[in-house]
Each structure stands twice: as structure tokens, then as C-alpha cells.
Structure 1
């Protein structure tokens, strides 16, 4: 072993190496601290954190592999208090101490929140929080189911606000334990009863504010699945606006407070009357405007010449009608005269060519007793009686000799 004295001092590097050896023999230890700095590079395999102990105002660098950090990544952020199982590492070259962690745990509530976050991820993956599963709330429910603590401020806020908005609204109240070991089974039973009630159109689950531990029953997986199975729309009104139990994600509507749940569920009769009056006024304005437009249009039509003085069209065309009438008469007269002339000419030709005209010129037609006309002398015999037809009539003749 080297002697260390004023005459034979250790170099700084040797001292740093010896410190590293002592620290190396320490082995892995559990260390608690608050994260004051967190570095997660997207493609890096190592995560860097700075842990600080507020009591001693000292900080240590902690490194871990990505897979170690990913186990708690959803619940860990700057400001979180954690416990790490890590081995101290001394870097002799620069004389710095760090911790290489192989396990990370959240302290107290952080661990609880991590479990809730894991449950939230699992239920989200199943689709229980999907927006398309949300059922619409009725405009005016026949009866509102209310699950809340007995004689609680939440119950009073819901009932008073709802009845102030719509005095005739009816409630089906189920008082239950809202924290502790009995809360989950009682709330599930009440929700299932109200879901099976034929007159209940919407269910409100309400509770006042509280700590994370107090609100824990409303993140229970069994309750979440029971609400998801409801056919009746469910409104979640747990705690105040910053509180977000898992019930808020599976409910069909998340209200900020119990008072807002009543406002979201029951319409305000005064607002509805005002809305109806607005619609009536709007309808009156629309109808009045339409009538006024139609009246103006009718007035415009009535001022047009064809409507104001419809006879001017006839009067304006009277001369044209007279001219057309005279023209039609002349044309018709000309056609009739020409047709009469053609008829007279045709009649003259017919008369000239008719057998009667031939008879008037002194000709006669000889007919046998059977009415046949004699054309050749050889067609008659001596002594045969014939009839002679002339222009003035007819008479009988007798053949005296053969032709």
C-alpha cells in the first residue's frame, strides 16, 4: 500500500480512483428524491433525471434504460417524488457521482396514480371511453335518477338547482356511501336499480370534492364496467372541475360539479319560454317579411300595362284584326268565285257529254224488253217489240224487217 504523506501526496486522479473503488463496494441502494429535471430524447436508449433532496439542498444525476423508465412514464414528470433502486457510479475522470437505476417506484400517491393510469389505458383500449358509445341526454326527462351521499351537499345542490330550473321535475334518489369500502357495491346497486326503472330517463352520480383517496371508489373497474353497461344515459358529477376519476371518462356526460350536473340535465323553464318567444318573434318576422315581399311583387304586377289596362292590347290590334278579316274575306270570296267558275265549266262539259244532250239532238236509244240497248241491226228480229227513248220521253216500236 502506498504511503501517503506531505512528501508523497496522492495525485487527484488517484484519489478519484480510490473514491470510485469505495463507492463500488457500496452496491445498489434505494434512494428517494424529487425529480427536478427530466431528459427523454426520442431515439435515445437512456433516460436522464436529476433527483433533489430539499432537506439537504443536494442533487444527484440518475440514469436508467428506456425500458425501466417506460414502466412508469405515464405517471412520472418533473416534480414527482420517486424511489429508485440504483447503484452509485463514480466517474473518476471528472469526479462526478451518479446513480444507475434498475427500478423506479412512485412514492405514495404517485404509485396509486400510476395504477389508475394503467387501468385507464386498459379500459381505453377496450373502447369503454370511446365517444361513439356516448348516449345523448333527453331534452326533458320524465324522472331523474340521483345517486349521491345521504343528506349531502351534492344532493342539495342537484335537487335545488334542478327544481329552480324546472319546478315540475321529479327525482328518484338513491343515497349511498360515497367513500370507503362500502361505496363501490352500493353505488353499483343504485345505478343498476335506476337503470332498470321504467320512468328514469337519466342518471346522475354526484359527490362533492375530496382527496384522491376519497374519490378512489369512482375509479373502480367494477363500477366503470357497470356504468358502461347501462342503457340509461349517465352523468358524472364527482368532485370539482380539477378532479377526474375514471367515471368521468365512461359517463355519457361529465359535469364540472353537482350543480352543473343539474343544469346539464334539466332545462331552465325561463330560458325555454324565452327561446320559444324568440322563435315566435322570428317566425312572425319571417312571415311578415314574406307577406311584404309578396305585396310589393303584387303591386309591381298590377302596375304593368297588361294588368292595369288589358284592353289596350285588343284595341292596339283592332286594325290588324280588321285587315286580316278583310283579307280572309277577299281570299275566301276569290276562292269561291274560282270554284264556281270551275264548277260551271265542268257542268257544261258534263251536260255536253251526257246521253240526254245526245237525245236532244234527235237521237234515240232502242231497248229490248229486258232493258238491254240495241247496238247492231243483227241484234233484233222482225216483229220484235222494242222501246224507243228520245229526248221528250219513250214509246214502243216494232221491227218490220230484219236489218
Structure 2
């Protein structure tokens, strides 16, 4: 039979202790522990508007985890903390009396390992971005076919082999000028900067490739060096960054004029594919030939259409209709003139008859005479003459001079 819990005179089933008192004693015993630095991974982070923040740390070598409380000031001072980062925390245990739950209070929090490097790199990124070094407007266009391609890479590296082989495969006539440099370690950034300065000063180099294979964050750290980043940004020659593999992203990728995912990909960007270009030329020549043939065919059809028109088959054919029209118009005009002349002649004849009927000569032809005195004045009354006056008689066929013997008035 299993034994029950131990009992004493002060503590037994008949004389139990209050649970709150026991929790208070345990709380006092726990909180007598001092502060200690521990390392763990952040597996949960909950930011709140309240002053107290909560996060959960887990031991990376075991399944043990603990709830951590800290102030907003401590959490913000640690930097841009995210879940998954490894941190170093100065903690002390705390027991919550209400539910007897154990947690740890954090007085200071620091990002450790790669996380600390990531924080530093993120701060540098923000600084350079604020200066405008990542602005797309600053990026220079790569030449279509560079005269000389500058290459900065490690001596005998796989990156050098990939770049050179792919460039020559795509464009066999391409010229490369390689500058070997350290691509890892504390002196790597300075060595790459010297190679960049040499190639940038070469007037024949039209584009520069900085290439390195993949590696850990520490291995690629030289390509996030502030001095190297600023040198790439200040380069007058377009720079292609081909550092690591697709997931790798050192800061130099952000300021380079072109970021290639791999060294092999860099070769695809700096030179065209000779076979593709030849095929494009053949295609363009074929299209040009077809356009010329189509244009000539269209112009020939237009010319044939013009030549088939009656006016071009018989240029004088159009004059026949115009001649007929002119002949008709001439005939109508002549007939109109003849009618007009006949009408005018008839009118003149009528007028002439009227004039002749009313003229003195017609009156004289009927036996009348016109009498005038010696001075040529017309005599219309017997009172105008005296006996012995000579008068001039105008007859139809001449003149007669007579002398007045006497006059008699009626």
C-alpha cells in the first residue's frame, strides 16, 4: 500500500496550510535567485500596447522553453527582433501568485549569432537607403555588346569558371579582363575595392562583373561592407553583382546596376546569345524581304490598274467625247447666232419701214413739196411771203425755184 504525504504536528490533514501561504513561501524562495545570462531562440513574440511585453524562449539544444516578460524599452533596445532569432537575455525567475505560474523577468536583451549580424546589416541598409543609394534612377543601363568585360572573382573559383564558360558559349568573340581578388575573410572587401577601381579606370572595360559562389552569412559578409557598397555605387562603369545563389542577398546587390541570381545568370545579362541574335537577324531579313516583295507587288498591282484604265490605254479616246461635245456646242452656237441675226434683221426692216413711212421724202413722193424762202427758212403761211419773192420748192426728185405773183389767204 502506497504511503501518504508526510505529516507533522504543524502540517497534517487535520491542520492544513493555506495554499496562498505556501505559494507565497515558494515565491519568496524562487525570487531570492539572482540574475543570470541565458541564450535561447525566440519562438513566440507578442507585442502589445501595454508597457509589459511577452515572448517565449526555447533552448536550442533541448525542448525546454520559458515565458519571458520585459518592458517595451528593453525589447526596443534589442533592435528589430523577430521570431526565430537567437538572443542572449539577462533574466531572473518570477512566480505569479494568482496562478502559481513561473516566468522570467528580462532586464536586458541582445540579439546573438547571425541575428546580430542581420540587425547590423539591416541598420546599414536603412542608412544607405536613406542616402538614395538604392534608388533605381541611379542604375546605369548595361551595354548591348561590351568591348571588354571586367571580372572580379576568386582565383580558380567555380564562379570564375561559370562566368567565363557561359560568356564564351553565348558570344565566342567576347573579351574578358579578369582581376582575381579575395572573396572571403577580413581583407576581402578591400581587395575587391582595389580590383573595382582598376577595372573602372580601364577605358576599354564597358561592364564589370563581381562574382562569388554561395556561402554562409559570414562568408558573404565582405560584400555587405559599407566601403565596398559605396565603391560600387560610385563606379562609372556599370556593375553586375553575382554573389552567391538566389536566396543570398548581400547589400552590394542593392546598389549594383544589375543583380544576377548566380554567376551563370550574370553571363546571360552581359552578352547576347550569338545563336539567338543570328536567328533574329535571319528572321528580320526574311520579314524585310517579305515586306519589300509585298510593297513591290502592291505597287505593281496599282500600276497595272492605272494602265488598264481607258484613258491610259487610248489617251486620245477622251478627246472624242469632248470633240463631240464641242461640235454640238458649236452647232448650237451657230444656230443661235443665225436666229439672233435673223431676228435683228427683221427688227431693222420693221424699223426702216416705220422710218420711211414717217420721213418727208415719202410725203414728197406722194406729190407734196416743201417750200423755203431765199434764206432757206421753211414757209408755212402765205403771210411769210410777198409778191415777187423767190421760193425754193423741194420735190421728191429735186428742187425748183419759183417767184410769187400774188398770195391769197384763206
TM-score normalized with structure 1 length: 0.75
With over 3 angstroms needed to count, the CA separation of the structure-2 counterparts of 1:282 and 1:322, relative to structure 1, is closer
- Given that 1:72 and 1:114 are in contact with CA atoms closer than 8 Å, whether structure 2 keeps it comes out as no
Measure how far apart 1:179 and its partner are: 1.8
1:44 shift after superposition: 5.8
- Cross-structure match for 1:385: none
Distance 1:125 1:160 in 2: 39
Residues 128-168 of structure 1, C-alpha deviation per residue, up to 9 Å, x if partnerless? 11222111111100001111122322222222221222121
Aligned residue in 2 for 1:143: 148
Alpha-carbon distance, 1:359 to partner? 11
Which of 184, 194, 198 aligns to 2:203? It is 198
CA shift at 1:297, angstroms?
Answer: 7.5
Hey, what's the Cα distance between the residues in 1 that align with 2:360 and 2:179?
132
Q: How far has the Cα of 1:102 moved from its partner?
A: 3.8
Within 5 Å, give how 1:343-362 maps onto structure 2.
Answer: 345=347
- How many residue pairs end up in the alignment? 360
What's the secondary structure of 1:271's corresponding residue? helix
Shift of 1:65: 3.6
Which range moves more in the overlay, 88-97 or 135-144? 88-97
Say which SS state the counterpart of residue 116 (structure 1) adopts: helix
TM-score normalised by structure 2 residue count: 0.74
Indicate the structure (1 or 2) with the bigger Cα radius of gyration: 2
Which residue number in structure 1 is paired with residue 27 of structure 2?
Answer: 20
Query: CA separation of 1:44/1:338 partners in 2, compared to 1, >3 Å: closer, same or farther?
Result: farther
Q: Which of residues 334, 337, 345 is equivalent to 2:336?
A: 334
Give per-residue Cα distances to partners, 1:258-283, cap 9 Å, x unaligned.
Answer: 22212211212112112212222333
Match of 1:107 in 2: 112
SS in 2 for 1:192: helix
Please give the alpha-carbon distance, in whole angstroms, between the structure 1 residues aligned to 2:242 and 2:262. Answer: 5
How large is the RMSD of aligned CA atoms in angstroms?
4.1
| Inter-CA distance 289–330: structure 2 relative to 1 (3 Å threshold) | closer
Question: Displacement of 1:233 after TM fit?
Answer: 0.6
Residue matched to 1:388: none
SS at match of 2:218: helix
Equivalent pair of 2:307/2:313 in contact (CA under 8 Å)? no
Please list every run of 5 or more consecutive structure 2 residues that lacks an aligned counterpart in the other structure: 1-8, 366-374, 379-410
User: In the alignment, is residue 57 of structure 1 matched against residue 59 of structure 2?
Assistant: no
Deviates more, 1:7-16 or 1:280-289: 280-289
Note closer, same or farther for the CA distance 1:257–1:62 as it changes in structure 2 (3 Å cut). Answer: same
CA distance in 1, matches of 2:351, 2:260: 115
- Structure 1 residues 269, 46: CA separation in 2 closer, same or farther (over 3 Å shift)? farther
CA distance in 2 between counterparts of 1:223 and 1:22 reads 55
2:40 corresponds to: 33
Alignment check: 8 A CA contact 1:147 1:175 kept: yes
C-alpha distance in 2, partners of 1:226/1:38? 38
CA contact (8 A) 2:41 2:58 kept: yes
Q: Render the CA deviation track for 1:55-112: whole Å, top value 9, x for unaligned.
A: 45222112334444344554x3332221122343321111112223343212222211
Q: Relative to structure 2, which stretch is displaced further, 57-66 or 194-203? A: 57-66
Matches within 5 A, 1:129-168: 129-168=134-173
**What residue is the counterpart of 1:11 in the other structure?**
18
CA shift at 1:20, angstroms? 2.1
